[in-house]
Amino acid sequence: MKRRQTDIRHAAAAMAARRDARTLMQVALGREKADLEIINARVVNVYSGEIIDDGRIAIKGEWIAAVGDLEPDRPPAGRVIDAAGRTVIPGLIDAHTHLAWYYTIEQFLPYAMADGTTTIVTETMEIYPVTGKAGLLAFLDSLRDQPVKLLATAPASVSISRRTDGMATETLRELVRRPDILGLGETYWQALLQTPDALLENFQATLRMAKTLEGHSAGARGARLSAYAASGISSCHEPIYADQAAERLRLGLYVMIREGSIRRDLAAIAGIRHRLADSRRLILVTDGVSPGDLISKGYMRPVVQKAIACGWEPVAAVQMATLNPATHFGLESVIGGIAPGRQADLVIIPDPYTITPDMVISRGRVIVENGRVGAVLRQNPYPRVCRQTVKLAREMRAADFEVRTDGDRAVTVRVMEMVTDLVTRAARVAMQPSGGVLLSDTTADILKVAAIDRSGVSGKRSVGFIRGFGLKAGALACSAAWDSSDIVVVGADAADMAQVVNRIARLGGGAVAGAQGEILAEVPMPLFGILSPEPMPVLADQLAAFNKAAAQLGAPFADPLLTLVTLTGAAIPFLRICEEGLVDLKTGRSLPLLVD
C-alpha cells in the first residue's frame, strides 16, 4: 500500500522504506542471485567488536543481504570481488560537519568519497541567516540523491544579531519533520543559559519528533554543564582535553572528538581511552574541513587513521566513525555496520591498521576503485534563491566607516582585542578624536572593524575598532560572516574598506582583500554569498591567495579569513560584532562602543 511521503519522519524509516526485505531474504537463502559478493575479506564487525577472517558479504541492490556463511547452493553473483585477505570496514560517517564551507557539494563530494565516507551529517547554520527557509530548502535539495548519504540538522539559529537570531517554531517543526533532518543543530550553551525561553520551544518541537539536539558546550563545566545537559542536549563536539570529554560523557552526552580544520583535538583527548571500559559514546567528527586540507590531507580517512595512531584499537577507531554515530542518530538499523539489512556501504583497506581505501562501495555501488572516483554526482541547479543574496542599500563610501563622537574630548572606546586567532576580549582604549572623528591607528594596531547587513532587509551596519589584527594598510572583507547575514570587514583604511565591500557586492558574495584602491585578492562566492562553484583546487588557490594578501598586509593569523569571519560568531568568546553593534557573549548583551 502506498503511503503519503509525510508519513515518514525519520531517516532510518525512509531508508527502510526503500529496502525490499523479501528480495534480500531470497538472496540470503540462495534463491536469488546477489548483485555483488565480497569474499576472502577480513571483516571488521562493529557489533561484536571482532575482526572476522574469511568473511563473505552478499549484496543486492543498495543493501547487504547476508554475511558470514553464505548459502552454499546459491546462484553466482553478478560480480565477485576477491578481497584477497584485505580488510573491509563499514563506510565512514562524519556525524558533525559544516558542508557550507566555501565549496559546493559537487566539488566536495569526490574528496569525501575517495576517503571512504558514505554518510555525512551537516550543519545548515550558514545558509539560513542569509536566505531564510527558501535558501535552506535549496541547500537541502543539493544534498539529496548523491552517491553517498548526506543528512542534515536544522539550524539552531543562535546569532548576536536580532535579525538572524531564532527561528519560528512552526518553521522548525516543518524542518524537523523531514526525514533528511536528524535533529536540531548545535546550540551554543551560553545562549541557552542566557535566554532559555527563546530556545526551549524549538528544543521541545524537536524532541517531540524524537530527534536529537546537538550541542556546543565549549568551556562549560560543573553546574552549568549539568544545566545545559538537562535541557535535552545529547552531544558535544567541543571538548579539547580528556577531562572535558570525560565530564561530558558522565553527563550522558555523546562526545564528538573533533579533528578538522577548525581544531584538531584527537591527540589531546586520546588519553581518555585508558579510563573508559568502552568507547561506545565517542564519535569522530571533522566539524568542517577547509578546501586546502581536503586536498592535502583528505576528509575522514586521516581522522580514523589518527585515532589508531593515538592508540585506539582499529575496531574501536572504526566504531567511533561508524556504529557509534549511527547509534547516536537512531540510524543503527540501516547504517554503521556490516550486517544483513544494512546499506551496503563498505570500504576495502589493506589491513585494519591502514585506513587507505582501495575500494569504496556506497549503497551497493562501487564508487571508488583503483583510486578513481567513479560515481556520477548529481549537479545542482542552485536556483535563483541561492544567488544574488548580497544586497546593500547602496555603494559603500569611506565615510560610511567613520566613527563620530560628540565633540573632541578624549573618549574610552571598547575595542575588540584579539587574544588568540579566534578568541577576542573587550579592551578599553583611550582615543582622541580628530575633528569629531575617531581614526584607526596602525602604529598602535588599532583598526576599524565593521559588520554590514547584506540581506537588503535591515540596511544596518555598525563600525568599531579592533586591536591585534595587524593590518598595516588596506582592508579585508567577507560575506561568509558566521551566524549572521553580514559582510564583515576589517581595515586600516576606510576607502579600502568601502572598496572591498563594494567588490563583494558586485561578486554576489565572497572574500576580498584590497589596499590603496587596488584589489589584491578575491574569492568569489556567488552562491548564498558563502559558496564558490569553482573546482576545489581553484578555490583553494584563491583562498590561499587571499590569506597571502592578508598576511602581506600584516595579518598575523594562521588563517586570516577564518579569523575575519568568526568576528560575528555567537559562540567563540568574548566580544563580537554584528550590524547592530558590539555584543558581549558572556552576558549576551549589547555594549555601546564608547564606555561612559
The only residue of 32, 68, 309, 354 in contact with a copy of itself, by rule CB under 8 A: 68
Segment near a copy of itself (CB under 8 A); pick from 19-27, 134-142, 256-264, 510-518: 19-27
Query: If we measure between CA atoms, which residue out of 518, 524, 439, 516 comes closest to residue 479?
Result: 524
Residue 6 binds to a copy of itself (criterion: CB under 8 A):
no
Of 70-129, which residues contact a copy of itself (CB under 8 A)? 70-71
Q: What grid cell was written down for 279?
A: 568507547
Report the phi/psi class of residue 145: left, alpha or beta, with left for phi > 0 and alpha for psi in -120 to 50.
Answer: left
Of 28-67, which residues contact a copy of itself (CB under 8 A)? 28-30, 45, 47-50, 52, 63-67
The only residue of 39, 193, 240, 385 in contact with a copy of itself, by rule CB under 8 A: 193
Residue 586 binds to a copy of itself (criterion: CB under 8 A):
no
The only residue of 54, 82, 145, 278 in contact with a copy of itself, by rule CB under 8 A: 278
Segment near a copy of itself (CB under 8 A); pick from 284-292, 339-347, 511-519, 582-590: 339-347
Which are the contacts of 465, defined by CB distance < 8 A and separation ≥ 6?
Answer: 403, 413, 415, 416, 429, 431, 438, 440, 446, 447, 448, 449, 593
User: Which is closer to a copy of itself, CB of 190 or CB of 389?
Assistant: 190
- Least Cβ distance, residue 241 to a copy of itself (angstroms): 15
- Least Cβ distance, residue 26 to a copy of itself (angstroms): 8
Of 401-460, which residues contact a copy of itself (CB under 8 A)? none
User: Which is closer to a copy of itself, CB of 138 or CB of 334?
Assistant: 334
- Least Cβ distance, residue 298 to a copy of itself (angstroms): 27
Helix (H, G, I), strand (E, B) or coil at 90: strand
Cα 558 to Cα 222, 230, 267, 395: the distances in Å are: 32, 37, 20, 31
The only residue of 140, 148, 315, 392 in contact with a copy of itself, by rule CB under 8 A: 315
- Least Cβ distance, residue 390 to a copy of itself (angstroms): 35
* CB of 530 closer than 8 Å to CB of 521: no
The only residue of 79, 162, 275, 506 in contact with a copy of itself, by rule CB under 8 A: 275
**Identity at 339, one-letter amino acid code:** A
Q: Is the dihedral of CA 179, 133, 126, 146 positive or negative?
A: positive
In this structure, the number of other CB atoms found within 10 A of the CB of residue 194 comes to 16
User: Which is closer to a copy of itself, CB of 232 or CB of 433?
Assistant: 232
The only residue of 327, 380, 455, 485 in contact with a copy of itself, by rule CB under 8 A: 327
DSSP of 372-390: EE-PPPPPP---GGGS---
User: Which is closer to a copy of itself, CB of 195 or CB of 458?
Assistant: 195
In this structure, the number of other CB atoms found within 10 A of the CB of residue 388 comes to 12
Of 202-261, which residues contact a copy of itself (CB under 8 A)? 203-204, 207-210, 212, 221-224, 226-234, 246-247, 249-252
Give the count of residues interacting with a copy of itself (CB under 8 A): 86
The only residue of 32, 106, 174, 201 in contact with a copy of itself, by rule CB under 8 A: 201
* CB of 509 closer than 8 Å to CB of 382: no
Cα 357 to Cα 87, 89, 92, 120, 259: the distances in Å are: 10, 10, 11, 17, 19
d(CA 180, CA 12): 9
Residue 280 binds to a copy of itself (criterion: CB under 8 A):
yes
Segment near a copy of itself (CB under 8 A); pick from 2-10, 33-41, 112-120, 430-438: 2-10
d(CA 416, CA 538): 33
DSSP of 315-333: HHHHHTTTHHHHHHTT-TT
Segment near a copy of itself (CB under 8 A); pick from 17-25, 352-360, 394-402, 407-415: 17-25
Residue 556 binds to a copy of itself (criterion: CB under 8 A):
no
In this structure, the number of other CB atoms found within 10 A of the CB of residue 540 comes to 21
